[in-house]
């Protein structure tokens, strides 16, 4: 059973049913039932045309669910005779589903869940496990999302920026349960990139590839978080880095810079350095300046302050940091790092401990706690 094939075909088949007149929610339910049937039947009797099989079975599931409606009978007679669309069908249903699942009327959490279900082809259980919530809770979230978009016309133009933010949310969830959400986000973004020449889609794909390439070096065998400067760069995936750089260069050549391209350029500069000491911090600061022209993001300003500290010295970084709101996430950790670089170990130790208490996750909290303990040991020694 090729689960990857099933997941890749899911959005296309949903799109076919919607174009035939099924509502989005009913189409998605019918396809899910057909997928269950495929898992049961295909191992012993694989179809010669998997897409055609799924379209036929899904449509029959839909008709079975709506047969009580007399108005459906004429559609059944008319559509049953229609051939399944060829792979080269000019109507791009998958692209439309991206826009529908990332509709502005949905909350980010609902948009992510619906995208993983309808476009990614994941089951409700898989999505629930990935987000560490009960399956019933995730089922309710997906049902509400489907009801929300049920009245949205399938041919309405979508917002690429909203789709990209949803995919980036998926990527940042990383891995939990039996679904690697980072890898799933890359798969879906590749799929989107193949259907549109939008430079920011390419920028997001490049950013994901470059970040994912460093994943094997981010944690030690004991689960400890390893900062970028201390990572074993031999563990970085050079194939993914090369692909990410190629995708980024092609996007930048279109001369329509966007925020994901700027972020990817920063990631590429980190990936290009053979050691932490060879990092081109001056150019990284310049790219942060470009990024801030595109989006005045407080987190980008925080990261820029740290980069300034590397390029021009810790006091310059502290001066840049002082212009920001101290309540920003990771502000205290950034100040602790720059204070340590400036030689103020006592203040840095206190700030590391303070940052640990408000860390967003356990690995980060443990890392900051160890940093505080390390400096306190040096001060006592």
The pTM of the full predicted model, rounded to 2 decimals, is 0.80
CB atoms within 10 A of CB 178: 10
What pLDDT, in 10s, does the model give residues 44-68? 888 889 999 999 999 988 888 887 5
Give the sign of the dihedral formed by CA 40, CA 43, CA 45, CA 48.
Answer: positive
Strand 175-176 and strand 179-180: the pairing is antiparallel
Residue from 252, 293, 255 nearest 269 by CA? 252
Please give the Cα distance from 232 to 214 (Å, whole number): 9
Please give the Cα distance from 34 to 211 (Å, whole number): 36
Give the sign of the dihedral formed by CA 129, CA 44, CA 55, CA 158.
Answer: positive
CB atoms within 10 A of CB 91: 12
Identify the pLDDT of residue 242.
97
Residue 333 half-sphere exposure toward CB, CA atoms < 13 A:
21
Whether the Cβ atoms of residue 242 and residue 284 lie closer than 8 Å to each other = no
Please give the Cα distance from 246 to 240 (Å, whole number): 10
User: Which of the four pLDDT bands, split at 50, 70 and 90, describes residue 377?
Assistant: very high
Tokens 């990572």, located at residue: 231
Whether the Cβ atoms of residue 332 and residue 355 lie closer than 8 Å to each other = yes
For the chain, which residues make up each domain, given as ranges? 3-85+94-171
Identify the pLDDT of residue 22.
84
Whether the Cβ atoms of residue 362 and residue 220 lie closer than 8 Å to each other = no
pLDDT (mean) for 19-45: 86
Whether the Cβ atoms of residue 321 and residue 305 lie closer than 8 Å to each other = yes
Whether the Cβ atoms of residue 162 and residue 102 lie closer than 8 Å to each other = yes
In Å, how far are 198, 262, 296, 325, 344 from 290, measured between CA atoms?
19, 7, 10, 21, 32
In sequence order, the 6+-apart residues with CB closer than 8 A to the CB of 280 are 269, 272, 273
DSSP 9-21: HHHHHHHHHHHTT
Looking at the chain, which runs of residues are DSSP E strands? 175-176, 179-180
Whether the Cβ atoms of residue 59 and residue 79 lie closer than 8 Å to each other = yes
Based on the number of CB atoms within 10 Å of its own CB, is 60 exposed (0-12), middle (13-18) or buried (19 or more)?
middle
pLDDT higher than threshold 80 for residue 227: yes
Residue 59's Cα: distance from chain center in Å?
Answer: 31
Residue 219 pairs in a beta bridge with: 225
Please give the Cα distance from 179 to 227 (Å, whole number): 25
Phi, psi (deg, nearest 5) at residue 176: -160, 155
Identify the pLDDT of residue 302.
97
Lookup: tokens for 175: 């891995």
pLDDT (mean) for 132-146: 90
Characterise 121 by phi-psi region: left (phi > 0), alpha (psi -120 to 50), beta (else).
left
**DSSP class of 258:** -
User: Which of the four pLDDT bands, split at 50, 70 and 90, describes residue 225?
Assistant: very high
- Which range, 86-95, 164-173, 290-299, is most confident? 290-299
User: Which of the four pLDDT bands, split at 50, 70 and 90, describes residue 105?
Assistant: confident
Identify the pLDDT of residue 100.
85
Identify the pLDDT of residue 87.
43
């Amino acid at each position: 059973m090729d689960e990857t094939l099933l997941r890749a075909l899911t959005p296309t088949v949903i799109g076919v049913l919607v174009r035939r007149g099924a509502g989005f929610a009913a189409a998605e339910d019918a396809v899910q039932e057909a997928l269950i049937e495929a898992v049961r039947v295909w191992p012993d009797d694989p179809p010669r045309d998997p897409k055609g099989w799924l379209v036929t079975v899904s449509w029959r599931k839909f008709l079975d669910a709506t047969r009580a409606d007399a108005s459906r009978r004429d559609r059944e007679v008319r559509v049953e005779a229609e051939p399944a669309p060829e792979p080269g069908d000019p109507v791009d249903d998958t692209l439309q589903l991206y826009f529908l699942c990332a509709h502005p009327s949905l909350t980010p959490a609902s948009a992510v869940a619906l995208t993983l279900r309808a476009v990614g082809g994941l089951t409700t259980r898989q999505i629930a496990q990935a987000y560490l919530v009960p399956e019933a809770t995730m089922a309710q979230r997906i049902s509400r999302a489907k009801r929300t978009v049920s009245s949205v016309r399938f041919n309405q133009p979508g917002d690429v920026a909203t789709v990209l933010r949803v995919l980036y949310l998926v990527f940042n969830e990383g891995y939990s349960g039996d679904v690697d959400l980072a890898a799933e986000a890359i798969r879906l973004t590749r799929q989107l990139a193949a259907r549109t020449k939008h430079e920011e889609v390419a920028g997001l794909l490049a950013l994901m590839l470059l970040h994912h390439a460093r994943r094997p070096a981010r944690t030690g065998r004991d689960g400890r978080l390893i900062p970028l400067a201390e990572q074993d760069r031999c563990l970085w995936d050079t194939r993914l880095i090369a692909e990410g750089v190629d995708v980024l260069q092609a996007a930048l050549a279109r001369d329509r810079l966007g925020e994901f391209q700027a972020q990817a350029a920063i990631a590429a500069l980190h990936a290009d350095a053979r050691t932490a000491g060879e990092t081109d911090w001056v150019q990284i600061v310049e790219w942060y300046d470009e990024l801030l022209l595109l989006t005045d993001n407080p987190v980008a300003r925080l990261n820029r302050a740290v980069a300034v500290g590397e390029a021009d010295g810790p006091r310059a970084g502290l001066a840049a940091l002082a212009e920001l709101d101290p309540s920003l996430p990771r502000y205290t950790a950034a100040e602790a790092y720059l204070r340590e670089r400036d030689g103020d170990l006592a203040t840095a130790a206190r700030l590391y401990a303070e940052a640990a208490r408000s860390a967003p996750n356990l690995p980060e909290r443990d890392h900051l706690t160890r940093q505080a303990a390390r400096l306190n040991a040096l001060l006592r020694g």
